[in-house]
């Protein structure tokens, strides 16, 4: 299922068609149907149209080459690796609306880091639901990492504060904090998350090293609208697109990077701890045109940190 729709349609469009107006109209349609946003699509296709007219392109392969380069240019960002502090613990806050995949993604990250020999402590700062805290605890036990928790309804900032103190005392390398995707109606989610940010800064002497926003890749353009609110309020440092295994489209990857101006750090490709891959723009674009789907774990770099 992964991205097959987009891969197939790009394959079709570039197999020996003549480059004319209709060709570009069709390319536009394919991109939009693959969840590439309107602005990004128009920017890409208008650029190609102009060059094609100016330089007299006839061959769709030439267009393909330029399109590939343009996609890589959108996707490649200097800050695509996980930021690691030279002064442990590195603190990662994980945010996003409910159900996008935050808790599962935290388990995956913890699993990767632990596999690389890092000491990880999880902070159950989604105190909205007892079940949410328990879910994180089950993962912590399964993966074999520590957890700091308080009871349901307690102050999420206090949980993160405790976790950072505990991390210092225990020589922990990474604190990863789960946060709520929604709150009791009277409280404002963004204000609550900002407060967690302030508490982190107070406990750590610097802002959180990463504020990672988890988006559900299957929700298409809604994900972008949501993400803008988080980005504007919280100083998000990177994106994780979860549930990439559940979409045949994949254009969302381009849209979020282009419209939010943030790097994608990882893709979630399933529900198991090992289902997290590094986002590698060149390999991703290559696979969009050539298949097989670019989400195989084998293609992922082994180490998060180099």
113 to 152, contacts with Mg ion by CB under 5 A?
A: 132
User: Cβ of residue 237: shortest distance to ligand GTP, in angstroms?
Assistant: 18
And the tokens for 90?
A: 């590195």
Note whether 181 binds ligand GTP by CB under 6 A.
Answer: yes
100 binds, among ligand GTP, Mg ion, none (CB under 5 to 8 A by kind): ligand GTP
Nearer to ligand GTP by Cβ, of 75 and 242: the residue is 242
60 to 89, contacts with ligand GTP by CB under 6 A?
A: none
Note whether 224 binds ligand GTP by CB under 6 A.
Answer: no
Taking CB positions, which residue lies at the least distance from ligand GTP? Answer: 268
Tell me how far CA of residue 24 lies from CA of 101, 160, 178, 251, in angstroms. Answer: 36, 51, 44, 17
Q: Is it true that the peptide bond before 89 is cis, omega within 30 degrees of 0?
A: yes
105 to 134, contacts with ligand GTP by CB under 6 A?
A: 126, 132
Note whether 293 binds ligand GTP by CB under 6 A.
Answer: no
User: Cβ of residue 40: shortest distance to ligand GTP, in angstroms?
Assistant: 23
User: Cβ of residue 126: shortest distance to Mg ion, in angstroms?
Assistant: 5
Interface region with ligand GTP, contact rule CB under 6 A, candidates 4-12, 28-36, 57-65, 266-274: 266-274
Nearer to Mg ion by Cβ, of 102 and 231: the residue is 102
Q: Round to whole Å and give the CA distance between 68 and 226.
A: 28
Note whether 273 binds ligand GTP by CB under 6 A.
Answer: no
Q: Which of 41, 103, 255, 300 binds Mg ion (CB under 5 A)?
A: 103
Note whether 248 binds ligand GTP by CB under 6 A.
Answer: no
Task: Report which of 288, 262, 242, 268 is spatially closest to residue 77, judged by C-alpha positions.
Answer: 262
Interface region with ligand GTP, contact rule CB under 6 A, candidates 11-19, 92-100, 158-166, 249-257: 92-100
Note whether 102 binds ligand GTP by CB under 6 A.
Answer: yes
Nearer to Mg ion by Cβ, of 102 and 112: the residue is 102
Q: Which of 11, 47, 65, 99 binds ligand GTP (CB under 6 A)?
A: 99
User: Cβ of residue 106: shortest distance to Mg ion, in angstroms?
Assistant: 8
* DSSP annotation string for the chain: -TTHHHHHHHHHHTSS-B-SHHHHHHHHHHHHHTT--HHHHHHHHHHHHHHHHHHT--BHHHHHHHHHHHHHHHH--TT-SPP--SSSPEEEEEE-STTSSHHHHHHHHHHHHHHTT--EEEEEE--S-HHHHHHHHHHHHHHT-EEE---TTS-HHHHHHHHHHHHHHHT-SEEEEEE-S---TTS-HHHHHHHHHHHHHHHHSS--SEEEEEEEGGGTHHHHHHHHHHHHHH---EEEEE-GGG-S--THHHHHHHHH---EEEEE-SSSTT-EEE--HHHHHHHHHH-S-TT-GGGS-S-S--
Backbone angles phi and psi of 206, in degrees to 5? -160, 160
Tokens 């549930």 belong to residue? 243
Note whether 218 binds Mg ion by CB under 5 A.
Answer: no
271 binds, among ligand GTP, Mg ion, none (CB under 5 to 8 A by kind): ligand GTP
Nearer to Mg ion by Cβ, of 9 and 149: the residue is 149
Site of interaction with ligand GTP (CB under 6 A): 96, 98-104, 126, 132, 181, 242-243, 245-246, 268-271, 275
Site of interaction with Mg ion (CB under 5 A): 102-103, 132
């Amino acid at each position: 299922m992964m991205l097959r729709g987009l891969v197939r349609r790009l394959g079709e469009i570039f197999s020996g068609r003549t480059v004319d107006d209709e060709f570009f109209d069709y390319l536009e349609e394919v991109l939009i149907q693959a969840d590439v946003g309107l602005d990004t699509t128009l920017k890409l296709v208008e650029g190609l149209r102009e060059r094609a007219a100016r330089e007299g392109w006839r061959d769709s392969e030439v267009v393909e080459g330029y399109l590939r380069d343009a996609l890589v240019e959108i996707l490649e960002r200097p800050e695509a690796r996980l930021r690691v502090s030279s002064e442990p613990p590195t603190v990662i806050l994980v945010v996003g609306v409910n159900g996008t995949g935050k808790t599962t993604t935290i388990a995956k990250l913890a699993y990767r880091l632990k596999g690389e020999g890092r000491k990880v402590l999880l902070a159950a700062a989604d105190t909205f639901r007892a079940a949410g805290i328990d879910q994180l605890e089950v993962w912590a036990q399964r993966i074999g990492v520590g957890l700091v928790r308080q009871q349901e309804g307690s102050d999420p900032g206090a949980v993160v504060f405790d976790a950072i103190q505990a991390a210092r005392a225990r020589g922990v390398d990474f604190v990863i904090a789960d946060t709520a995707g929604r709150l009791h109606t009277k409280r404002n989610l963004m204000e609550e998350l900002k407060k967690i940010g302030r508490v982190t800064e107070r406990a750590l002497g610097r802002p959180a090293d990463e504020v990672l926003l988890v988006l559900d890749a299957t929700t298409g353009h809604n994900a972008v609208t949501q993400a803008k609110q988080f980005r504007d309020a919280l100083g998000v440092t990177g994106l994780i697109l979860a549930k990439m295994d559940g979409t045949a489209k994949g254009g969302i990857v381009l849209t979020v990077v282009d419209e939010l101006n943030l790097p994608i750090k990882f893709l979630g490709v399933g529900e198991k701890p090992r289902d997290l891959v590094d986002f590698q723009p060149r390999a991703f674009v290559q696979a969009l045109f050539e298949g097989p789907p670019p989400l195989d774990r084998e293609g992922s770099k082994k180490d998060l940190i180099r």
